[in-house]
Amino acid sequence: MHALFEYLARRDLNPRSAPPRIARWNNRALIKFLSDAEEIVRESWSFRESKFSFVANSSLSGGTRPCSSQSCRLKHADRLGRFAVLYGDQVTIQNPLMEVREVGPRLLEWNRDVVLGSLQVLWHLRPLIDAGFVAIVNPAIHFCEDHLPDIVKSGTLDQISEELTRQYYGQMTITPTAQPGGYSLSGPESLLEHPTVTFYATDHPRKTALRLLRRGTGEVSEDVRRSLVQHMVRPILLDIIHQHVLGADYGARYVTDRDVDFLALRQTVEPDLREVSRALAEGLSHSVPTLEQLPLKDLLRLRHDEGEVFRVYRDALARVLQEITPADSGRVRQAFQDRVLPELNKIDALVANEQKRLRRSAAIDLMLGFAAVSLCLFPGLLTAEAGRLLAEVAGGTYAGRGIRRLAGLPTEPEDKVRDRAYYFLWRAREEAHLPR
């Protein structure tokens, strides 16, 4: 059991007890919990050396940006979990409890909700965390001037910031809402997964803000626009710093589910930063959608049971992904459509043909067996004793073989395709189809 879950057990915090307990916390109790959790994560994380070890961005880690709703946080964390089981040896997420960035009486209720949501993320990923496929680390984003990462010193981060700012300024639409200080943000899917609402301090009281909206004069000032753009850009910059530090120290590669990361990184000349790996689950969720129906614990069991064929599948998939220049999710989905799905279809065809062959052979054997029994018992052809013996030999041989072939239908066809490169993925898809 991961040390963080041991701590939660000692505090009697579980999915059922946590909501009422956390609702009673004051700021002091909140700070103590976050401090303990941060220290436990700091002491418990260790890196697994592998070319399949990754560090995840904040949204895949179940973070609150760009959307803090619990459903969005869990959706991204689930995507991360499937990536870890279907491709990684270790995927390190950023400690979601660190999403509490400021503490004070005014923010207490909000911070309680953030903590509870972060715990839900961790509990969802717990089977993978305990198994070692998902690790937790505190974000590497705070440095003194003497230890600034090279990406900051070199000015590369400034290049990325300028490109991100240009993208959001040029393509994101900001519209005031009826709620004072509220703004609706929308834009292309490459920048925003879905429209979102955020709040920014305003000098207008509620009645004045509503009156301005009705008159069509609820314009967005340049200061507000700049602040909201930075609100979207800052988490991405922090993610890139975090990845750069862990990448430099341990060789971990970056895994992201944001297209905008690629838009920014194309402007850099840092080769390490160009080694960005698109979340495999992004391609899987579009090309093999039934995989999302398979619980993480079942995916984990399948990987444990089929370790050898998993490695064959992953090596084949790695060769496909290496041919893709980091660009956007469309290229990943297209690679699955062009290279992976045809292989799955071939396995489908081979299994179906083998099942038909076994059924035909079984049916013939059963008919021959029943015919032998009937023939031998036909009056007058043989003595009763001779007929009985012949029926047991001939009929039993054919019928027994037919029954054995029928019994082998669920497994024998699969045995014929286990050496196929994408058998593991095919097997996972078949498991997802099973009733639950």
Ramachandran bin of 251, using left for φ above 0, alpha for ψ from -120 to 50, beta for the remaining angles: left
Which pair of tokens denotes residue 213?
Answer: 């909206």
Q: Which of 104-108, 247-251, 275-279, 349-353 has the highest mean pLDDT?
A: 104-108
Instruction: Please report which confidence band the pLDDT of residue 213 belongs to, taking 50, 70 and 90 as the band edges.
Output: very low
Mean pLDDT, rounded, of the chain: 78
- Residue labelled with tokens 């391609």: 283
Instruction: Please report which confidence band the pLDDT of residue 275 belongs to, taking 50, 70 and 90 as the band edges.
Output: low
Distance of CA 102 to the CA centre of its chain: 28
Which pair of tokens denotes residue 39?
Answer: 């220290």
* 191 contacts 329 by C-beta, under 8 angstroms: no
Tell me, what's the pLDDT at 358?
52
Percent above pLDDT 70 for the chain = 73
> What's the Cα-to-Cα distance from 335 to each of 76, 125, 158, 282, 325, rounded to whole Å?
22, 28, 32, 12, 11
Buried-state track 201-214, b at ≥16 Cβ within 10 A, e below 16: ebeeeeeebeeeee
- Comparing 17-31, 126-140, 178-192, 288-302, the range with the smallest average pLDDT is 288-302
> What is the identity of the amino acid at 250?
Y
Q: Which of 43-57, 249-263, 362-376 has the highest mean pLDDT?
A: 43-57
Tell me, what's the pLDDT at 41?
96
CA angle 192, 128, 335 (to 5 degrees): 50
The residues facing 253 across adjacent strands are: 54
Q: For the residues of 346-369, what is the DSSP string, one character each? A: HHHHHHHHHHHHHHHHHHHHHHHH
Tell me, what's the pLDDT at 33?
96
Q: What is the pLDDT of residues 412-435, one digit of tens each?
A: 567 778 888 888 888 888 888 776
Tell me, what's the pLDDT at 234?
92
